[in-house]
Structure 1
Amino acid sequence: MNTLMRSMLLGCALAAVAAPAFADPPDWAPAHGWRDHHEGDGPRYAWARVERVTPIYARSGYPVRREVCQQQPGYVVSQERYQQGSGSTAGTLLGAVIGGALGNQVGHGDGRAAATIAGAVIGGAVGNNATRGPGYYSQEQRYQPGYQSCQVQQGWRAREQVVGYDVTYRYRGDDFHTRTSYPPRDRIRVRVDQYVAPDDGGYGGG
């Protein structure tokens, strides 16, 4: 009886010792790849090496207004002007003498002197007109200096803006391509499921 009891106790002790060796490892233990083969269906993440980053540019334009000025040269202006002919001095004097004599004969008393003067003035004017030559046109020239003329012109100015980045990265010996809105550094975080894809929230590490 004692021998049977000792055998049963020894068997229980061996079972208690061997049980932990065959039990599942704890959550924190790597267990020689057990976690990689027995994790759930959720995505896994890893880091891939960035091979090349190329900026992607978009070309656009915006309106601009500018003032354009030009120096206009000077030029000569020609203008014709009509000139009346002038009477001769002899004709004026002769008319004044004749007019004065007539006025002296017409006047009486104190009014004779006034009539003589008036006759001389009128006679001089008549004599001047009688000897006046025909009118003529003269050409007059003047220089118009140069000036600066300005006008506002509207055009377009082009500009380039970075809208993204074309990224080539290597994961486990294969090259992959993606586009990101930020410039990754030497590595990029990728999601590893059935396919390898970049993680949207995975910024490149330093």
Structure 2
Amino acid sequence: MLRTLISALVVALLLASPAQADNGHRHHHRDGRGYDYARVIDVDPIVRRQRVRVEREVCWDERVRVDGAHPGDRAGAAVMGAVIGGVVGHEFGERDPRAGTLVGAAVGAALGHELAAQRHHRSRYVTERRCAVEPDFEYHEAVTGYQVRYRYRGRIYHTRTERHPGKRIRVRVDVSPVHWHGY
């Protein structure tokens, strides 16, 4: 019985040795095609640069000319000139104080209006903040794949992958006879 057990063990070891030589990585189908793993030697990312249009707000300080008087100042100056002219016209209107008042008011209003206009032409400068939206471009880099160099059975191969393969890459193995002998 011990002899039978030892014989069975030797036969089992002999049958298992070809599978162990492949380290269990190869998987073949009946048609001779299968898969195995190869050692990755080098991985280089494939980078694509993209140009993207963006809009940016650009601001600056600008010196701006501002007229001296406010538009409402003209009307106020004309009214003030009319009142002063009316009082002066009334005082100097000997015959008809009412007519002197009216003429004085008209002349005073015209003078007040003219003085306001002259003041209006005096300018000053202020600094104002100005902004505008302008188109610009940004550049972004994106990894679109990987250029992979790997070794399988002593030979070097190259391929491109979508994902980083890691330390090993799965390869398809196609086994076919060198000479075909028909049946």
User: TM-score scaled to structure 2, two decimals?
Assistant: 0.53
Give the Cα separation in 2 of the matches to 1:64 and 1:123.
73
Give the share of equivalent positions with the same residue, in percent: 35
Give the Cα separation in 2 of the matches to 1:123 and 1:31.
137
5+ long unaligned stretches in structure 1: 1-24, 100-118, 196-206
- Give the 3-state SS of the residue equivalent to 1:146 in structure 2: strand
- Give the 3-state SS of the residue equivalent to 1:145 in structure 2: strand
Contact 1:58 1:161 in 2 (8 A): yes
Match of 2:49 in 1: 59
Give the Cα separation in 2 of the matches to 1:127 and 1:63.
70
Contact 2:33 2:175 in 1 (8 A): no
Match of 1:161 in 2: 142
Aligned counterpart in structure 2 of residue 187 of structure 1, from 168, 172, 176: 168
- In structure 2, give the amino acid aligned to 1:29: L
Q: Deviations over 1:33-81 (max 9, x none)?
A: 9xx9xx84321332211110011122223332222222221335379x9
- CA deviation after TM superposition for structure 1 residue 178, in Å: 0.3
Closer/same/farther in 2, CA of residues 32 and 173 from structure 1, 3 Å limit: closer
CA RMSD across the alignment: 4.4
Closer/same/farther in 2, CA of residues 42 and 147 from structure 1, 3 Å limit: same
5+ long unaligned stretches in structure 2: 1-10, 23-28, 177-183
Give the Cα separation in 2 of the matches to 1:163 and 1:153.
31
**How many residues get paired?**
139
User: Which runs of structure 2 are paired with 1:1-206 in the superposition (5 Å)?
Assistant: 29-30=15-16, 40-77=30-67, 96=94, 99=95, 119=96, 121=97, 139-140=118-119, 141-193=122-174
- In structure 2, give the amino acid aligned to 1:62: V
After TM superposition, where is structure 1 displaced by more than 4 Å over at least 4 residues in a row? 30-33, 91-95, 122-128, 135-138
Match of 2:3 in 1: none
User: TM-score scaled to structure 1, two decimals?
Assistant: 0.48
Q: Deviations over 1:116-154 (max 9, x none)?
A: xxx4x15856997xxx9xx78774314252222222223
Give the Cα separation in 2 of the matches to 1:194 and 1:147.
81
Give the Cα separation in 2 of the matches to 1:127 and 1:165.
97
Contact 1:93 1:127 in 2 (8 A): no
